[in-house]
């Protein structure tokens, strides 16, 4: 079976923090802009994306989201 084209991006969702009496959540950040890859399944793409996450986010993986879609 030939590979298919997929796109992936990686987002970082900051945790809410207190500002005075209010809880404020900063906007999400695009850590890795949309990339296109050829793979057989979306699970392979998720592994590629995980390997691409910058080191400064590796201690915050619970706040990192990998999004994958077929092209």
What token pair was written down for 63?
Answer: 């706040």
Residue with tokens 């994306």: 49
Number of domains in the chain: 1
Q: E strands of the chain, at which residues?
A: 4-12, 17-19, 22-24, 29-39, 64-70
Compute the distance between CA of residue 24 and CA of residue 28 in angstroms, rounded to an integer: 12
pTM of the model: 0.84
Q: What is the pLDDT of residues 4-55, one digit of tens each?
A: 999 999 999 998 887 777 888 889 999 999 999 999 999 999 999 999 999 9
* Domain extent at residue 29: 4-70
Q: Which of 13, 68, 66, 63 lies closest to 41 in space, CA to CA?
A: 68
């Amino acid at each position: 079976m030939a590979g298919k084209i997929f796109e992936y991006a990686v987002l970082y969702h900051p945790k809410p923090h207190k500002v005075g009496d209010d809880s404020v959540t900063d906007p999400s950040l695009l850590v890795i802009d949309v990339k296109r890859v050829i793979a057989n399944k979306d699970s392979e793409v998720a592994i590629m994306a995980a390997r691409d996450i910058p080191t400064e986010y590796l201690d915050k993986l619970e706040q990192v989201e990998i999004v994958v879609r077929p092209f």
